[in-house]
Amino acid sequence: MQITAPCVVSLTWRLEDTQGQLIDELTEPVEFLVGGDDLLAKVEEALIGQDTGFEATLHLEPEHAFGDYDSQLVCFEDRSLFPEHIEEGMQFDGLPEGAATVGMPTDAIYTVTEVYDSHIVLDGNHPLAGIALVLALKVRDVREATDKEIEQGSVGTPAVTVLATAPASPHLH
């Protein structure tokens, strides 16, 4: 079956930065909805018209991946607004209730980048923002998308999309 939107592709890949540092690797095929919210536009563009067995290495500049880094998405919040056990790398969906920072996106995933006695530094950028990427992918299978997948825009649950501009996860949420 040829890849067209909407359909579901099973992919394996190796994702690195431009210095060859491994960021993510899928050795077992994972399904993604083409024509939905699962994949970056440049990845979909490379897949359209291809078949099972297609392989490509894509060079993705930040504007075609997770965007440029925006220092305006970094803020400081009072330590008392967070759980007692907090450490760098933890993520929160939105800012905590009582946050003093105004004008920040309420729907962003914020990553704790520094922990101090008096405050916490939060970063609302995607962890891969500002980074050029090299994605070597292989199409393992192609199938028709179900009505449910098309309706929710994803093969996974609506909150779990991969290689999209959604929040970070082990597989680039």
Amino acid at 126: H
pTM for the model: 0.79
**Quick check: 146 pLDDT over 90?**
yes
Digit-coded pLDDT (tens) for 98-143? 888 888 998 889 999 999 999 999 999 999 999 999 999 999 999 9
pLDDT at residue 156 in the model? 80
pLDDT tens, 36-85?
999 999 999 999 999 999 999 999 999 999 999 999 999 999 999 999 99
Domain map (residue ranges) of the chain: 7-66+128-152, 71-123
Q: Are strands 55-60 and 133-144 parallel, antiparallel or unpaired?
A: antiparallel
Cα 56 to Cα 32, 51, 97, 103, 134, distances in angstroms? 16, 12, 45, 40, 10
Phi/psi of residue 156, nearest 5 degrees? -85, -165
Helix (H) or strand (E) holding 78: strand 74-78
CATH 2.10.220 fits 71-123, yes or no: no
Q: Could you write out the DSSP letters of every residue in 96-142?
A: PTT----SS-SSSEEEEEEE-SSEEEEE-S-TTTT--EEEEEEEEEE
Class of domain 7-66+128-152: alpha beta
Residue 120 vs residues 65, 95, 112: alpha-carbon distances, Å: 28, 11, 7
